[in-house]
Amino acid sequence: MKTVYKITALLVMGLTYANAQNKSTASSNEKTYAEISVKNDGRWENRKYIGGTYKNVNKLKVAKEHTDHSFDIRYEGPGWESNKIAYRLYLDWRNAIDIFGKKTEAITLPQVGQDNSPSYHEMQDWGCDILNSGKGIGIGSINRYLNGEKLHFHEVDSTFASVENQAKHSAVKVNYYGWKTASDKIDFTSDLIITPDQRYTKHTFQASKEIKGICTGIVKQKNTELLKKESQNKKWAYIATYGVQSLIPDQLGMAVFYEISTIENIEDTPLDYLLVFRPTAKPTSFYFLAAWEQEKDGIKNKEEFIKYLDEKLAVLNKKNKI
């Protein structure tokens, strides 16, 4: 995607960012899109941002005051979408990934969460927020699981985020500097890429040093079951859930595909199904996806969902990528 940005150096509300066009210009033939939108010209009061106007940016340094529900970042973090599904990352201590279900194949994120627009928690023509992450991991995001406890991103020296739109993909990159958990302090990078006509996001992460417990997974919901399968060559596998687990409520499937050699163990915790990675300082990639029954030509039942997952697993088994 060729989006033209007016780049201006600004120092506003503790954020250093390049100011992009306030009005997103995703054209009708584009199939992926990523954005991040932040307010300026307002003020901070007790970690809430009051007033101001949202402007799209292509990169930012997150304000020290920012936390959950600070209202300085539109829908609380970067968002990315294909013509099938949309996701957003809570750019705060939760670091969870949420899902926007889409009833259309058009680009929708530019209209989501704007001031004076309908709440994205309510069904609209384009769709709505369909996942309740709560204190869980959401889908495909990163936390740390150590000694039976899930450790979030409560202590980080600084966080930087950027978005990129290209002809064949859209991407979000987040750099966390000085992430402290237990007795460890590391830098950490997440790269998230989505491609046309696909539901999945490829998530590649890298830690600055080897530590135990880096994890991803799927938040637990009622009325679902855990699905698991390994590829024929025992190289790739998936965990997934399916059932009436959307906020509507209606049928929603979620899955994470992982390379078996990268995983130390799988944890069934009260809040999440977690994949705990082996300690490494090398880049590690996995895939996650959601499939909502109200998508255009969407997957309607568990049997269709499993068939879809098995087809993706077979591709990974053969090509080592989807």
Helix (H) or strand (E) holding 61: strand 53-61
Angle at 202 (CA atoms; ends 198, 207), nearest 5 degrees:
170
The 8-class DSSP code of residue 177 comes to: E
Give which of 93, 61, 79 is closest to 179, Cα–Cα. 93
Q: What is the pLDDT of residue 26?
A: 57
Q: What gap in Å lies between CA 33 and CA 165, rounded to an integer?
A: 6
Q: What is the pLDDT of residue 16?
A: 37
- Please name each of the domains of the chain with its CATH number: 9-319 (2.70.98)
| pLDDT-flagged residues of the chain (< 50) | 1-24
Q: What is the pLDDT of residue 223?
A: 84
Q: Do residues 35 and 163 touch, judged by C-beta distance below 8 A?
A: yes
Residues with Cβ within 8 Å of residue 9, at least 6 apart in sequence: 18
Q: What is the pLDDT of residue 27?
A: 54
Q: What is the pLDDT of residue 24?
A: 43
Instruction: Report pTM.
Output: 0.91
Give tens-digit pLDDT for 99-154: 999 999 999 999 999 999 999 999 999 999 999 999 999 999 999 999 999 999 99
Q: What's the token pair of residue 111?
A: 């209209």
Q: What gap in Å lies between CA 100 and CA 133, rounded to an integer?
A: 12
Residue 148 C-beta-side C-alpha neighbours within 13 Å: 0
Q: Do residues 51 and 44 touch, judged by C-beta distance below 8 A?
A: no
121: how many CB neighbours lie within 10 A of its CB?
A: 11
Q: What's the token pair of residue 212?
A: 């135990």
